[in-house]
Structure 1
């Protein structure tokens, strides 16, 4: 059973130790992760080049992070999970934008002496559950021995699968679409990719707001998504799925978790009520910067955003790109929903150890996973 302390995790990486900076209940990761500890060193799966899983190298020489700031905490990781963004980052997604950010940060912190040394090696990962083993003198809300992220009735594996997908769903529905307990009851929602990591959390959050949900997903997920709260299910593999949706009453929110692989915003906007919102978590920012460079990529992104927004306005609907940020208050709300049995985390039945992280990523990449895939660190205890 986990102790109740929760905090937001931003760009978290699979490891036995992480250093987290704790600021106003919103710590953010700034150091590196790993696994087996020996003489101040840890193992870590790293990549030196973008590509496929052949790029992974198991390193034995990563230094254990140290407390550098009075607001830092050092966390021993107990479990972690894989997100699809890990696969995209391995392939180079967002590399140019992140490299530019790191270079600018380096100019400010290091005087520009190591501009090209921060991009590689890369250690992938976002979510974990762990135990605080050290903390700086100004950390007052957390103590050594606290298990974070935690909730009373979830396992450590479920906790490690929770932060990214729950923050993403919450921000898309509440912050960017503006739905809450006061205005959502009885409204209609279409969820694209309902059975995925973000999708299955979003289904439950929408249900908890009293919304009527139509789930667009594969037929093998119909029963499961129905149990989570979807009233209708539509098979996206059928050629006439859009026709089927168009025969139903229109929606107040369309939440896209997979991106425009087989539809366009212009197409989907016809399914919205006037004043409705189309919100997507798949944005072209990283893709455009990777393809066109920083200036041209950001310019193209601004053009695409303006084009979609203006199209939406002209048709009486809203178009939103959703992002999340570290938010301890939101994760405490998520924790409360879990403890009230109003939110459940779906884990894939297959588990992987730290030594098999590349295989776990392939498992997710090839579409075999149902729910979140968890990495177990018990062999390092």
Structure 2
């Protein structure tokens, strides 16, 4: 049987993406075959499609996408359609959500993942579209706030890009952990960020957060729109700057600041997400974590979804559906 998949064989604008048919993949003994109901388009995938950042081509391909990278899609939700003979973690028909990581491929009707991959049973109170949007942004926010910054009740947290796919979860999770949260976003997103629980908001189009006279225990830059050099002035002496982009530079800063007095940089990458997904699922099912979906496109319009993400103005998440909920 042939199924749909979106592929690209060269770096470039959204138009390099093509919808093709290919044979249904077969799971290996330790893999599950997932019938994908929904996936997303993230800013990271926009960069992968364009071959950016340049250092990332070591992973995705020097002059064009490696064969394993020719189908995008790192977040997904769907149903287990087949299981390998050694699989014990999942059953046929299980409704799952998860993260493909360095093995993207969710822009297709079916994809295989190891049973040890970042997969979990999806939240019972969400659609598949919502579940797909509840994977990478939420788990990344949790990784940085809990695991990197060791967030504590009563701390003051500044979230830059508070209306984005990571930022919307960062605001809510910081509040969940008992922090006082200030969100930085544009004018049109101020109300959304307040609704998510922010105690204070800063409109970056009219105000510079570094000139407010406030100091923070944690500055979480979820969109790469600032820098440690700029944010250091608003951090407490024992404060932490959390960057989600500029991995090479910020890893060097992490090492440098660890050896010095003053605020620290704590960079990193969250790849293993299974434990986080279980915790986040529980929060979602308890109505303690809101999923923000900006726009939804069918798979046939994945090019339009990439065009929209390329604008850099999405609120929360952009979802691509393969099966209507």
> Do these two structures clear the TM 0.5 threshold for a shared fold by scoring above it?
yes
Tell me which residue corresponds to 1:63.
Answer: 23
Please list every run of at least 4 consecutive aligned residues from structure 1 whose deviation after the TM superposition is greater than 6 angstroms.
Answer: none
Report if the CA contact (8 A) 1:47-1:120 is conserved.
no
Q: Equivalent of 2:223, from 252, 258, 262?
A: 258
The 5-angstrom pairing of residues 102-113 of structure 1 reads none
Compare the two structures and name the one with the higher strand fraction. Answer: 2
The answer to whether residue 279 in structure 2 is matched with residue 316 in structure 1 is no
Report if the CA contact (8 A) 2:159-2:219 is conserved.
yes
Tell me which residue corresponds to 1:364.
Answer: 309
Instruction: For residues 108-127 of structure 1, give each alpha carbon's deviation from its aligned partner in whole angstroms, at most 9, with x where no partner exists.
Output: xxxxxxxx994477111111
Tell me which residue corresponds to 1:275.
Answer: 238
The answer to whether residue 14 in structure 2 is matched with residue 53 in structure 1 is yes
Q: Equivalent of 1:197, from 149, 156, 165?
A: 165
Q: Equivalent of 1:145, from 93, 115, 132?
A: 93
Report if the CA contact (8 A) 1:186-1:211 is conserved.
yes
Instruction: For residues 60-87 of structure 1, give each alpha carbon's deviation from its aligned partner in whole angstroms, at most 9, with x where no partner exists.
Output: 2x2221122x211000011111111110
Tell me which residue corresponds to 1:72.
Answer: 31
The answer to whether residue 313 in structure 2 is matched with residue 376 in structure 1 is no
The 5-angstrom pairing of residues 292-303 of structure 1 reads 301=249
CA distance in 1, matches of 2:323, 2:251: 45
Cα RMSD after superposing both structures: 2.3
Higher Rg of the two aligned structures: 1
Report if the CA contact (8 A) 1:67-1:73 is conserved.
yes
Q: CA deviation at 1:176?
A: 1.3
CA distance in 2, matches of 1:197, 1:117: 25
Tell me which residue corresponds to 2:104.
Answer: none
CA distance in 1, matches of 2:278, 2:265: 28
SS at match of 1:334: helix
The 5-angstrom pairing of residues 111-150 of structure 1 reads 118-119=66-67, 122-149=70-97, 150=122
CA distance in 2, matches of 1:198, 1:171: 11
Tell me which residue corresponds to 2:40.
Answer: 81
Report if the CA contact (8 A) 1:161-1:345 is conserved.
yes
Tell me which residue corresponds to 1:177.
Answer: 149
SS at match of 1:153: coil
Q: CA deviation at 1:251?
A: 0.8
CA distance in 1, matches of 2:45, 2:60: 16
The answer to whether residue 304 in structure 2 is matched with residue 336 in structure 1 is no
Q: CA deviation at 1:312?
A: 6.6
CA distance in 2, matches of 1:359, 1:307: 37
Instruction: For residues 283-342 of structure 1, give each alpha carbon's deviation from its aligned partner in whole angstroms, at most 9, with x where no partner exists.
Output: 243xxxxxxxxxxxxxxx5xx643564357544111111311223221110011111111
Instruction: For residues 233-286 of structure 1, give each alpha carbon's deviation from its aligned partner in whole angstroms, at most 9, with x where no partner exists.
Output: 111122544212xx12x1111111111x4x43122112111211111111243x
Report if the CA contact (8 A) 2:40-2:133 is conserved.
yes
Report if the CA contact (8 A) 2:302-2:320 is conserved.
yes
> Structure 1: which 5+ runs fail to align?
1-39, 104-115, 286-300
> Structure 2: which 5+ runs fail to align?
98-121
Q: Equivalent of 1:215, from 171, 183, 190?
A: 183
SS at match of 1:330: helix
